[in-house]
């Protein structure tokens, strides 16, 4: 999300060492991380605006296609690595790790404030650890167990909340299930695509998802052409929030490492809520604030390391 970017550093791995290169001041990196969080937070705003005009699947088809086209040069450069067997495998991973979650988030955007999707998206970090424990017997540790408990409490608080008198429970559950699929996808990517550069892998999974969803998108394409605002939002969602943003994210990982780049996880819900408030006047509710605090607190707890003993 392609692997969900905010969960990349949650996977157990060897330490990532930033590549050598020209020195970049810390404040530049901080600005880049902030800008990336703002862009990814904006994706939930764009879905909220465009989904009613397109419908969930057609909107996702536009998003996947644009994102794949922008990342296509990375895939072309590494094309020799992709065998026929790998393409079949990537088709399945692409659906789990981008196609279906994107549709779920777009469906939720038609029925709830943009902040709901942005908040539940953060559960992907916790689900990655849970899936690794359940299916691959990787140790989870007490901190991650506590983080999962806090995260699920946050989802419960969000699912039982109301907005303008209407329940947002189904939308919250859709976003949570999308995050769970991200957790499955991240583990599949880690175990079945070793040695493939992340940018080329993202392009391949986006492309596979776009091809597989195309018949469903055509079958459900809106009878009335989406308006200009919907098209602009869809183009920004696919071009800026998917293709360009992934390119910058991988550059950050190359320079500062995956663990530090994952700090963007904490910014996405904040910006997602802020943009929806400023642009759509979707004011955050008490249940959203509580859910966000619990989920992000759980993510922080699961990612922290115990202090070394003296």
Q: Predicted confidence band at 301 (pLDDT cuts at 50, 70, 90)?
A: confident
Please report which residue ranges of 78-160 form alpha helices under DSSP H.
84-94, 100-109, 114-121, 124-136, 141-159
Burial of 142 (0-12, 13-18, 19+ CB in 10 A): exposed
For 13-28, the pLDDT digits (tens) are 444 444 445 566 767 7
Q: Is 285 exposed, middle or buried (0-12, 13-18, 19+ CB in 10 A)?
A: middle
User: Regarding predicted confidence, which is higher, 164 or 198?
Assistant: 198
Of 106, 54, 134, the C-alpha closest to 242 is 106
State what percent of residues in the chain have pLDDT above 70.
Answer: 86
The helix/strand/coil state of 12 is: coil
pLDDT digits (tens, 9 = 90+) for 159-196: 887 765 567 889 999 999 999 999 898 888 888 887 88
Classify 163 as helix, strand or coil. strand
User: Both tokens of residue 23?
Assistant: 């020195």
Q: What is the mean pLDDT of the chain?
A: 86
pLDDT at position 12 is 43
Q: What is the pLDDT of residue 163?
A: 65
State pTM to two decimals. 0.86
Q: Picking from 196-200, 252-256, 292-296, which range would have the lowest pLDDT averaged per residue?
A: 252-256
pLDDT of 158: 85
Please compute the mean of the pLDDT values over residues 198-214 and round it to a whole number: 93
Give residue-wise pLDDT tens across range 116-171: 999 999 898 889 889 988 988 888 888 888 988 999 898 988 888 776 556 788 99
Window from 7-16, 144-153, 266-275, 277-286 with minimum mean pLDDT: 7-16
pLDDT (0 to 100) of residue 259:
60
Mean pLDDT of 38-45: 95
């Amino acid at each position: 999300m392609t692997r969900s970017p905010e969960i990349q550093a949650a996977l157990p791995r060897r330490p990532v060492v930033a590549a050598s290169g020209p020195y970049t001041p810390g404040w530049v990196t901080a600005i880049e991380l902030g800008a990336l969080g703002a862009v990814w937070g904006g994706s939930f705003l764009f879905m909220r605006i465009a989904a009613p005009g397109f419908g969930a699947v057609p909107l996702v088809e536009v998003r996947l296609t644009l994102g794949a086209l922008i990342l296509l040069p990375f895939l072309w450069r590494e094309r020799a690595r992709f065998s026929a067997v790998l393409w079949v495998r990537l088709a399945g991973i692409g659906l789990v790790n981008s196609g279906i979650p994107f549709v779920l988030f777009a469906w939720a955007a038609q029925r709830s404030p943009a902040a709901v999707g942005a908040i539940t998206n953060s559960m992907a970090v916790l689900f990655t650890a849970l899936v690794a424990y359940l299916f691959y017997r990787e140790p989870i540790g007490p901190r991650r167990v506590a983080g999962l408990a806090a995260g699920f409490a946050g989802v419960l608080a969000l699912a039982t909340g109301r907005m303008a008198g209407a329940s947002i429970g189904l939308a919250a559950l859709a976003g949570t299930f999308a995050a769970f699929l991200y957790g499955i996808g991240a583990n599949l990517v880690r175990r079945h695509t070793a040695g493939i550069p992340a940018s080329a892998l993202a392009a391949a999974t986006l492309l596979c998802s776009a091809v597989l969803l195309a018949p469903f998108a055509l079958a459900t394409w809106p009878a009335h052409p989406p308006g200009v605002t919907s098209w602009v939002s869809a183009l920004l969602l696919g071009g800026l929030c998917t293709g360009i943003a992934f390119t910058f994210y991988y550059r950050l990982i190359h320079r500062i490492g995956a663990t530090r780049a994952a700090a963007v996880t904490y910014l996405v819900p904040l910006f997602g809520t802020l943009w929806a408030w400023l642009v759509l006047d979707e004011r955050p509710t008490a249940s959203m604030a509580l859910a966000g605090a619990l989920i992000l607190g759980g993510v922080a707890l699961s990612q922290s390391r115990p202090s070394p003993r003296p």
